[in-house]
Amino acid sequence: DSGVTQTPKHLITATGQRVTLRCSPRSGDLSVYWYQQSLDQGLQFLIQYYNGEERAKGNILERFSAQQFPDLHSELNLSSLELGDSALYFCASSGNGYTATNEKLFFGSGTQLSVL
Amino acid sequence: AQTVTQSQPEMSVQEAETVTLSCTYDTSESDYYLFWYKQPPSRQMILVIRQEAYKQQNATENRFSVNFQKAAKSFSLKISDSQLGDAAMYFCASFPFGNEKLTFGTGTRLTIIP
């Protein structure tokens, strides 16, 4: 168990809908990362938050947004869903958000999103 | 831009034997971390081993070790005494200092033959 909790584990929805994925980082970790894993794109970095502020952005679509709350949990919002958004969405957390001597990323078990 | 290349989509090894998974990377940063992650059928991403680029000594974690060749930008993973539980997708990843973004390779599917 990595200590990173993601809910829900599975999500089935229809095109055009909006969903919210939730992530609770490991206790004490300030930084949260979101990744998308799909068959055609592989593992893609979406966005990173550190202590409530956006720190880095990757290949995140404009239809997607995220935030990190004062209690450090994070939510990834996906809207106007398309078939191609079907993927496994991972959250990862790490300590201080800066690459430090012992920096490691620990991943949650992911949310499998199926858009029908 | 960072790139990570895993040229072996699939590998297989006899149980108890040794296997090496290859990875090459490209980064313009001088300081970075390199990782190997394992993804079993459960889909959980599990950290296997990490290497700091500024360290010349190759990292080891029990049966897992790396061969880090900085000049060649090569970072291979050696699994000794392979066990059935090692069967998984293995991803190589780079994480440059100051970039805060983990870039993954396309993965190598490892099969263990009993």
Q: What distance in Å separates the CA atoms of residue B47 and residue B42, rounded to the nearest whole number?
A: 14
Q: What distance in Å separates the CA atoms of residue A106 and residue A110, rounded to the nearest whole number?
A: 12
pLDDT at A103: 64
**Which of A42, A103, A105 faces B106 most closely, judged by CB atoms?**
A42
pLDDT at B85: 96
CA distances from B2 to A22, B93, B104, B114 (A): 28, 10, 9, 37
| pLDDT < 70 positions in chain B | 98-100
Cβ contact A56–B101 (<8 Å): yes
Place of tokens 């973004």: B101
pLDDT at A1: 79
Q: How far is B19 from chain A (nearest CA, A)?
A: 23
The pLDDT-based confidence of A101 (bands split at 50, 70, 90) is very low
Give A-chain residues touching B95 at CB under 8 angstroms.
Answer: 99, 103, 105
| pLDDT tens digits, A54-81 | 988 988 999 999 999 999 999 999 999 9
pLDDT at B1: 73
Q: Quick one: average pLDDT of A23-27?
A: 94
DSSP state of A51: T
Our measurement of the distance from residue B19's CA atom to the centroid of its chain's CA atoms, rounded to an integer in Å, reads: 12
**Which runs of consecutive H residues, i.e. helices, occur in A2-107?**
none
Give B-chain residues touching A112 at CB under 8 angstroms.
Answer: 43
DSSP state of A2: -
Q: How far is B16 from chain A (nearest CA, A)?
A: 26
CB A67 within 8 A of CB A20: no
